[in-house]
Amino acid sequence: MSDYLHDDMAALAALVPDGARLALIHDGGGVAMAATRALIRRRIRGLNLVNVPTGGLQTDMLVGAGCVASVETSGVSLGEFGQAPNFGAAVRSGNVGIRDATCPAIYAALQAAEKGIPFIPFRGLIGSDLLRHRADWKVIDNPFQAGDSIVALPAIQPDVALFHAPKADRFGNVWLGRCAETRIMAHAARETLVTVEEVVDGNLMEDDLLAPATLSALYVSAFALAPRGTWPLALPGFYPADQAHLAGYAKCAPDRAGFRRYLKETAFAGEPEAAV
């Protein structure tokens, strides 16, 4: 059975160590924003983010708060609200290491870890300039067909996968809903931390309708209750994004003083000015 951390973001955030390789889902997949603010409050440092497969507000906030050492991603932006300002500034300054990837490559490398294999063969990269920048991606000969080259991608095994889901039960099973990528993340990672909208009675794995989209407690290290835990981002099928809030972030975040004010009003709300 997994631990159930009732409405305690600080306890959940404490389970992510400094320097962890942390897998984060894309903005439409159930982003654990309540937990992200808790990570910023605890001043976590040296994170090596793996965006699955892209990043947005969550990555930009962690970078801007000084929590990140590197990002492996196929793109980071605020979507319709433009560029991710803190991420962009960090790339230009060289303060954060960048490992360029593609969406299919990230999924494939996670699937390698999910299957317990050290690498996975992958097509679609040969001829791209990405191979010049990723020394860890190797072009090899297909052992089953002479003259056929293929890329070997090393497995991505995160130390921690972090995401938000609609519900969990008291046995530690988590219903993922429509976002299948989070299952791949959980299978690949050493530890999986989840925030949920609600905790239900009964066993989700015994419900014929919910079981197919339920992650077994075998893959869940801990979860915490966090109603509207993706805010200001959407939880598809449950509530929309706070468009006005996101527009406000895009306006204030490019300025360091503006970003600090944003953190004070969100991650550090109610704490002394010196805490920011």
- pLDDT tens by residue, 166-206: 999 999 999 999 888 999 999 999 999 999 999 999 999 99
CB-CB contact of 15 with 222 (8 Å):
yes
The residue type of 1 is M
Could you tell me which residues come within 8 angstroms of residue 266 by beta carbon, excluding any fewer than 6 positions away?
37
The residue type of 261 is R
Tallying the residues shown for the chain, one arrives at: 276
How many CA atoms, within 13 angstroms, populate the side-chain half-sphere of residue 162? 33
Tell me: pLDDT of 2 over 50. no
Residue percentage of the chain with pLDDT more than 90: 92
* Helix (H) / strand (E) containing 188: helix 181-188
Cβ atoms within 10 Å of 22's Cβ, excluding its own: 24
For 130-135, the CB contacts below 8 A with 24+ separation are: 130/100, 130/101, 130/102, 133/100, 134/99, 134/100, 134/101
Supply the DSSP string of 248-259, one letter for each residue.
HHHHHTTSHHHH
CB-CB contact of 83 with 55 (8 Å):
no
Mean pLDDT of 8-12: 92
pLDDT number for residue 47: 98
C-alpha distance from residue 240 to each of 67, 79, 83, 227, 252 (Å) = 27, 15, 21, 14, 22
Mean pLDDT of 158-168: 98
pLDDT number for residue 272: 58
Mean pLDDT of 103-122: 98
In whole angstroms, give the CA distance from residue 76 to residue 49: 12
Mean pLDDT of 139-165: 96
Would you call 118 helix, strand, or coil by DSSP? Answer: coil
Closest Cα to residue 30, out of 223, 250, 218, 202? Answer: 223
Order of strands across the sheet with 119-122? 119-122, 149-154, 138-141
pLDDT number for residue 5: 59
Q: What's the pLDDT band for 1 if we cut at 50, 70, 90?
A: very low
pLDDT number for residue 21: 98
Tell me: pLDDT of 273 over 60. no
In whole angstroms, give the CA distance from residue 66 to residue 85: 14
Tell me: pLDDT of 93 over 90. yes
Mean pLDDT of 7-25: 94
The fold for domain 3-104+156-271 equals: Glutaconate Coenzyme A-transferase (3.40.1080)
Domain chopping of the chain, boundaries: 3-104+156-271, 119-154
Which structure tokens are listed for 8?
């305690």
Q: What's the pLDDT band for 7 if we cut at 50, 70, 90?
A: low
Mean pLDDT of 68-82: 97
pLDDT number for residue 8: 84
Could you tell me which residues come within 8 angstroms of residue 209 by beta carbon, excluding any fewer than 6 positions away?
none
Tell me: pLDDT of 269 over 70. yes
Place of tokens 């056929």: 148
Would you call 137 helix, strand, or coil by DSSP? Answer: coil
